[in-house]
Amino acid sequence: MKRHLFTILLLVVSCSVFGEQPKHSHMDRGETRSQTFQVNKGGTLEVSVSSGDLYVAPWEKSEVSVKAEGIDSDEVENLKMTQAGNNVRVSFHPEWGSRHLRFTFNIPVDYNTDLHTSGGDIHMEGTFRGVIQGSTSGGDIRLGDVDGRVDMSTSGGDIIAGKVTGPLSLRTSGGDIQMSDSSGDVDVSTSGGSINIGNVGKTLSARTAGGDIVIGNVGGQATISTAGGGIRVGKVTGSVTMKTAGGDIELRGGSGLIRAKTAGGDMDLKDLTGSVEGSTAGGDIAAELRPSGTGRSRLSSSGGDVVLYIPANAKANIDALIDILGLKQKDAYDISSDFKPATYEKKRDEKEIHATFNLNGGGETIELETVNGNIEVRQLRDK
């Protein structure tokens, strides 16, 4: 009986201690510190914090406003907000770590940033004019429109950006990259996500180890690669290199040397002027080519059909070859064309079909080759 009374008493005491907890006070949520600095355009907001999200917005004032929220009272002394000339510096590196904080900044439109956080997101909403750079070790990055240079990186999140007029560099080790148009050079890379970019005014370099790549039109050279997805690109003014280990390749136009390679997909290359080198280990190839007369082209597949569309007035020497593997495949494949071949051989014993075409007296060399597939040479008609 005494044991039961002791148990009841213990439950009552426990309820009174743990059942009704007092509401968190403002101090329990951390303290807020704020400060405003008078500046001129062209300065830089320099931020270095060990933990916290960074929120930056532009305004028309010649001031930099800083607000830090959620700081423990015994860590306030580690928060430094200072001004050196036209630059504002904010740092927070407590000795024993800290809870997750929030830093909010308002800066002039014509102001630069150098933002670094070891454990949070970076959000920049609005339109900025200047140099925008920063990094985070564990969060997402969101950028508005920038009239200037951009250099941002994250080790563990996605990156989304608006329109950028200057050179752009975006890097992430574990997320997607998405941005609107850019009128400058663009360099983007991710180790574990997809890339989706609008039009690019100048050169483009886009790399991912694990996703699809979708690009608009490119005004200069383009180098695009993925180890695990498809590639889709608009028109490119300049040479193009596209590589994927596991997807389709689609190009809407190119005017230089086009290099395309996939280990596991189809290839659709439209409106090419110049020369092309395209190969796939496991898909079909379709290419529209207007030879420039200064290069050499080759399209090859190890397991699909190859179709070349070429204008009737093009000057070219076309060499088409089908290798046939397997006894039952001898009559399954052929070379067909809208143009009369100069030569045509079907070597059953050697298991190959070979044809050549001399268009308009000959010219640029174009090689077409496939294994266990058909080859077609068709007239490219104006749409």
Is 193 in contact with 213 (CB distance < 8 Å)? no
pLDDT value at position 330?
Answer: 62
pLDDT value at position 97?
Answer: 63
How are beta strands 63-71 and 31-38 bridged, if at all?
Answer: antiparallel
Give 339's contacts (C-beta < 8 A, 6+ positions apart): 357, 359, 377, 379
End-to-end CA distance of the chain: 97
Give 24's contacts (C-beta < 8 A, 6+ positions apart): none
Is 27 in contact with 73 (CB distance < 8 Å)? yes
Going along the chain from its start, the domains and CATH numbers come out as 27-120 (2.160.20.120)
Residues of the chain predicted below pLDDT 70: 1-29, 97-99, 327-330, 348, 383
| Cα torsion 57, 60, 64, 66: sign | negative
Measured in degrees and rounded to the nearest 5, phi and psi for residue 10 equal -65, -40
pLDDT value at position 329?
Answer: 63
Burial class (CB in 10 A: 0-12, 13-18, 19+), 203: middle
Q: What is the pLDDT of residues 9-64, one digit of tens each?
A: 333 334 333 344 433 333 346 899 999 999 999 999 999 999 899 999 999 999 99
SS3 state at 85? coil
Q: Which residues pair with 161 in a beta bridge?
A: 179
pLDDT value at position 27?
Answer: 35
